[in-house]
Amino acid sequence: MKFVVSSTLLLRNLQAVAGVINSNNTLPILDDFLFEMEDETLKITASDLETTMSVSLELTMAGETGCIAIPAKILLDILKTFSEIPLTFTISEETQGVEISAGEGKYKLSGHNGEDYPKVPEMDAISSVNLPSRLLASAIVKTVFAAGTDELRPVMTGVFCEITPEDITFVATDAHKLVRYKRTDVKSEISSSFILPKKPLNQLKNQLMHEETDVKVNYNTTNASFTWNNFNLICRLIDGRFPNYEAVIPTLNPNILTIERLPFLSSIKRVAIFANQSTHQIRLKMSGKELMISAEDVDYSNEAKERLTCNYEGEDMEIGFNSRFMIEMINNVESEEIRIEMSQPNRAGILLPVEKENSDENILMLVMPVMLNQ
């Protein structure tokens, strides 16, 4: 098995799929990339059993079909040292030896039998939907940060995706915060839903942020696959029933705060430095055109207050929030002004963008309050 490939092309594509590989694998072969050569197409695969990502490269100089697993770390380390140079890979399938020739240099390493590499799961009884890459990347960016980390509640560690004849909805929650991202410009003839794990979503986000292409999504009851350009990612879905998120979104919120996003975000960041380091609690005190943001840490006698001009409709109110959750949410809204709708100090607040860049986009963020210790 022999082929010639550009060092920068190979490195760029290996780095794209390398994020799938775990730092501590149960199977040693999962520390490797699988190289498969057929005709003049080189297919490179990385897997952690739950998520498998592959990329196909069309090569002009290649001979013989075959497959081999090559240790990922040493291969990435050597490729990072090359400038743009053609590399010749010569692989013996008998000894599993890999020889890389680059200019005047020769580098040898031991590979493993490619036949031992875990096989990609076959998907049957699939449904399909096509999504623009920017739409999918935007949906992931605006929801995945709100997913939980509690492994005892696995359904809340991923992003719930619901496709209907009217729209597509992505939802993530960790019971303290919730984000619902809805698009009406994507539809499906049949209604279906599934829960996508966080790791493959982050892989997709990294790859799709700067792409302008369509992503074909195939899914069934156990797996979902994403195909775009020369990439394919397949992942196991999270099994279980996602919580009834609609039930926790309050509908009557007479107290409405409208404020410029960036000054509000900057104030929260400054004031939060003085908050209790375990609760990260900040207070919002609203009356008329005035918003007072404050925080204190009694243990260290730290205290901060800032006054901002705002537009507030409703009864005077004081409510506490976790500053970290607020900062995360406000960072993921793009409008110049935001609106926070509230009913009572012990009920969830809803954060919404005032202006929409896209009329097909609908985003709602919910954050639970922190009980104020008077």
User: Which tokens in the block code for residue 123?
Assistant: 């998907």
Contacts of 216 (CB under 8 A, 6+ apart): 128, 130, 226, 227, 228
Model pLDDT for residues 266-294, shown as the tens digit of each residue: 999 999 999 999 999 999 999 989 999 99
Task: Answer whether 0.85 is exceeded by the pTM.
Answer: yes
CB-CB contact of 174 with 113 (8 Å)? no
Percent of the chain clearing pLDDT 70 (strictly above)? 99
Measuring CA to CA, which residue among 319, 327, 355, 173 is closest to residue 249? Answer: 173
Instruction: Please write the tens of the pLDDT for every residue from 326-341.
Output: 999 999 999 999 999 9
Q: In the prediction, which pLDDT does 166 show?
A: 93
Question: For residue 211, what pLDDT is reported?
Answer: 86
Q: What's the mean per-residue pLDDT of the chain?
A: 94
Nearest CA among 295, 289, 288 for reference residue 272:
295
Domains 127-244 and 249-367 share a fold: yes
Question: Which amino acid would we find at residue 267?
Answer: S
Specify the pLDDT at position 122.
87
Contact 30, 21 (CB under 8 A): yes
Helices (H), 274-346: 323-331
Helices 198-208 + 133-144 axis angle, to 10: 130
* Band (125; pLDDT cuts 50, 70, 90): confident
Dist. CA 5–CA 87, nearest whole Å: 5
Is residue 358 over pLDDT 90? no
Domain boundaries, the chain: 2-116, 127-244, 249-367
Domain at 2-116, CATH homologous superfamily: DNA Polymerase III, subunit A, domain 2 (3.10.150.10)
pLDDT class for 374, splitting at 50, 70, 90? low
Q: How far is CA 333 from the centre of its chain?
A: 16
Domain 249-367 CATH (choose: 3.10.105.10, 3.40.1710.10, 2.60.40.10, 3.10.150.10) = 3.10.150.10
State the average pLDDT over residues 114-129.
Answer: 90
Residue 167 CA to residue 176 CA, distance in Å, equals 26
pLDDT at 64 over 90: no
The partner residues of 98 in beta bridges, in order of sequence, read: 91, 109
Q: SS3 for 130? A: strand
Q: What is the pLDDT of residues 204-254, one digit of tens each?
A: 999 998 889 999 999 999 999 999 999 999 999 999 999 999 999 999 999
- Residue 206 DSSP class: H
Strand partners for 293: 284, 306
CATH topology of domain 127-244: DNA Polymerase III; Chain A, domain 2 (3.10.150)
> How many whole angstroms from its chain centre is CA 126?
23
Strand 86-92 with 2-6, pairing: antiparallel
Integer Cα distance of 20 and 233 in angstroms = 10
- Distance, CA of 100 to CA of 102 (rounded, Å): 7
